[in-house]
Structure 1
């Protein structure tokens, strides 16, 4: 119980201490914040005194550091101004501090303006100090633009602080509005000029792809364009924050970057973009419509001509293979003819694309690279391809052959270099990868013209063997589909447990195999029954022994 009371007391004391500390911090925070601003202002004054004693690059470098400190001072004043507004909202009078701050706050606007102007001048003078688009030039260009964007952001906050403290912000606001609109126009112009330079260098690079200097120039121009575009995005955001029209600059951003984001999109902009795109399409159609229409007609004519050429070439090749003395399977014939036809069509498509203005060299190079990547990714498919070639070369089966391979029995319907399609006896279509067929035993049932039918018939031990043999021979001799050559075989083969077995092996045409099998089996059953010859089945004799129980 005492422990609980002690814990409660400790929590109560802790809360009181935290409340006292927070109240103390609130009572002194304004003084601390104000002192921070004064310290920064003193550092800036000291740096300005030192800069007057310097000249040249050292003075310019120190001046840049001064502008950075001025932005820090502006941020400190923002924090202090927000704090004063909060205190006034709580009915805490801060009139004395506002009076002390007013001259300093009002003096900050001209200081930031001067810092921005120095940075803009530094950008204009970059060509005199560094080689254009060099690494140093690009670093300074990025640094200056980043500073300017931040300065305009701080200046926007400064104008808001003046309004919150009921100080005159008309001059700062007027300058800010004019400067933001002017900066947006300048950045938009720079984007347009850089884009033209970039397009010209890309055109030169297309003519000379291995030109290292042009490649570096293109990369530098793209980096510059990205920096300028980012600055325009920041400026557009500030224009919107100051309730200024930014529609035309949003349009430029979308056209230059291709990115349509929620923060730069509105209904009016969509209308303007739609009108601009429609106008561009209309102008292009008026300027190039006739030529483009003619190119499309030529493209379609080329495809049509090569379509008929592919059919004629396939027909001619099929006739040539049919007359060839070299034995060619139907599978290989179909494969070669289809490949020839597709190659002719591919040539036609490439020629048609060239008429539309497409360069064939990049397309062919892309096809080569894509083929390498696809081949590496589809190694199993390449195995099927190799197996398909081996099947075509060695021809273990052909179309319509009845085969047994990969655990499947059926007739071959068609084949390509990847798979073989088989129709099973019960009318199922199976597509089997070629490597599974080539890697297994292939049993071609219909490869030979003649086939032997193997049958076994049994008679009882008490039946006449000679009579049974004569009946079997008579059945084979009268059957029209049993061949005389090779000669059939009827022999007593096995003395089984319950029967005496004859083997009956007639030769037939392959397509008559099952007809002969079924006919002979039926005839044997009917003749044996008519002649009194039994067809035995397995039998067992069971002997039961009974023993008498003794008392």
Structure 2
């Protein structure tokens, strides 16, 4: 019997959801629509008479048909009302038809009110027939609330139909306003009570996370809260449609769900929310200000302590690396020291946050998840990281070294595990990814203490070779920055087309390379000019032949 009633209610809700919408059937006459309502009314009366003579399942089945016919009648009345209003706007006189229709329309309001009151009583007695928060209880709770929400929607449409036909809708409207305000208050109270019960069970679940009974109760309370909030949303929409105050209920919806949507947001609500939040913040500061201030002081002291601790550890680490027998590049030293400092500061920040009341477990879990996501998204960066590690391990260059790598030449300014910053000869700063450097030839110009300067000087074929060779050696011997060891080289190297070329290769300190190169080049030019030795340049003879023209 109860299952049949549930099916009956389900059909009613479905019909209200999908069938109750005004439609204007312009191709159908008003008389035909009116006859349709009369036929449905007679069918309903006949079915009700038959139902009185039945009992049990047969009576419940017939009641199901009656409910369906009643919903068809409601839809037919809505269609007829819209058509009558349209015809009257076009100048058609329908006073007689409206007089016939008025008693039937006025009788619909009490029927809807009766249906609503029955459902409200059923909600109050729900725990007498079902175990609280059980599956059957939750199904009935949802079904009753859905029926009531749509019944109020139906009553709202009914009051509008009466107004459209200029019939007395004062009683239906007054009842509707009272009922909507009362329902909004009841739902607001239920949401508050359910929220408190839910918080208590969540607290218990924190102490006993494996308690299956508490887990199921939390799930049921969350479902119940969702049903209440959806019903309150529907009620708030009807309050707005009927011009009633709904601001406080919108605030409850936002506080309970956390959702701020366009359909419930307005200026007054924003003002009320701002005042509420400001009041809550003020009360919290007044109640917890002293403790919060003390925690903030402890947090700052922890950060200051770990800042000095990180600096001390960095100094000790630098001294240890400087005294270490294992050769460590400046880049490696800088990376290790900075990494240790940052790790110490991270520990200090986490400890400080724990003193402020933050739980470290979610923070650490969030850092782990964030690290995984960032690592997956930045795969190229991980390649740079690996290349940076290889550079630090094998040390092909260090800070202040002049290198050629990735197609550029410049002095290394700094390096991290992702990129290397190079200052070019013409003072441009270039940031090069480490994988581009490690994947190419690296030429370290300043890695060695000594460098050889390779120069070539040419003399004419008519000049004295021994004299030129002696002059070149004298210039190198006289230059203070040319090293005696390794010994410099001056040799006749090539007999070119227009010159006899000497190679001149002095050894110098690496930092003196260009000074020696420029000084020696200048000195050779001056000495050759003074000693009468020519420095030939390519020459070309051009012969012009003239031919006589014949007549």
Give, in whole Å, the separation in 1 of the partners of 2:402 and 2:62.
93
Distance 2:146 2:487 in 1: 102
TM-score by length of 1: 0.88
Supply the distance in 2 between the matched residues of 1:550 and 1:90 (Cα, whole angstroms): 114
Deviates more, 1:211-220 or 1:447-456: 211-220
Question: Where does residue 539 of structure 2 map in the other structure?
Answer: 539
Partner in structure 1 of residue 376 of structure 2: 376
Aligned to 1:406: 406
Q: What residue number does 2:343 align with? A: 343
Q: CA deviation at 1:490?
A: 0.6
Is 1:293 equivalent to 2:293 in the alignment?
Answer: yes
Mark the CA change 1:164 to 1:530 in structure 2 (over 3 Å): closer, same or farther. Answer: closer
Change in Cα spacing, 1:482 to 1:81, as seen in structure 2 (3 Å) is same
Question: Which blocks of at least 5 consecutive residues in structure 1 are unaligned?
Answer: 1-24
How many residue pairs get matched?
A: 527
Aligned to 2:155: 155
User: Which residue of structure 2 lines up, in the alignment, with residue 258 of structure 1?
Assistant: 258
Deviation at residue 275 of structure 1 after TM alignment? 3.0
Partner of 1:499: 499
Instruction: Return 5+ residue gaps in structure 2 as ranges.
Output: 1-24
1:33-48 equivalences in 2 (<5 Å):
33-48=33-48
Aligned residues of 2:528 and 2:534 also touching (Cα < 8 A): yes
Q: Residues 56, 392 of structure 1: CA spacing in aligned structure 2 closer, same or farther, 3 A cutoff? A: farther
Residue 310 of structure 2 is matched in structure 1 by 310
**Hey, what does 1:360 align to over in structure 2?**
360
Deviations 1:479-538 (A, max 9, x none): 111111101011111111111111000000000000110011111111111111111111
Is 2:372 the partner of 1:397? Answer: no
Relative to structure 1, is the Cα distance of residues 56 and 437 closer, same or farther in structure 2, using a 3 angstrom cutoff? farther
Distance 1:441 1:292 in 2: 58
The answer for the alignment partner of 1:14 in structure 2 is none
The aligned counterpart of 2:473 is 473
**Within 1, Cα distance between the matches of 2:131 and 2:515?**
95
RMSD between aligned residues: 2.6
Distance 1:216 1:472 in 2: 99
Closer, same or farther: CA 167–543 of 1 in aligned 2, 3 Å: closer
Alpha-carbon separation, structure 1, partners of 2:174 and 2:230: 24
Does the CA-based 8 Å contact 1:109-1:172 persist in structure 2? Answer: yes
User: Do 1:495 and 1:501's aligned partners in 2 also have CA atoms closer than 8 Å?
Assistant: yes
The Cα shift of 1:257 comes to: 2.7
Q: What residue number does 2:195 align with?
A: 195
Query: Are 1:74 and 2:74 matched, yes or no?
Result: yes
Structure 2 contact 410–423 (Cα < 8 Å) conserved: yes
Give the superposition deviation at 1:422. 0.5
Deviates more, 1:406-415 or 1:254-263: 254-263
Deviation at 1:177, TM superposition (A): 2.0
Work out whether residues 75 and 154 of structure 1, in 8 Å CA contact, stay in contact via their aligned partners in 2. Answer: no
Report SS of the residue matched to 1:264: coil
Residues 134 and 527 of structure 1, relative CA distance in 2, 3 Å threshold: farther
CA displacement at 1:374 relative to structure 2 = 0.8
Which residue in the other structure is 1:523 paired with?
523
Contact 2:26 2:83 in 1 (8 A): no
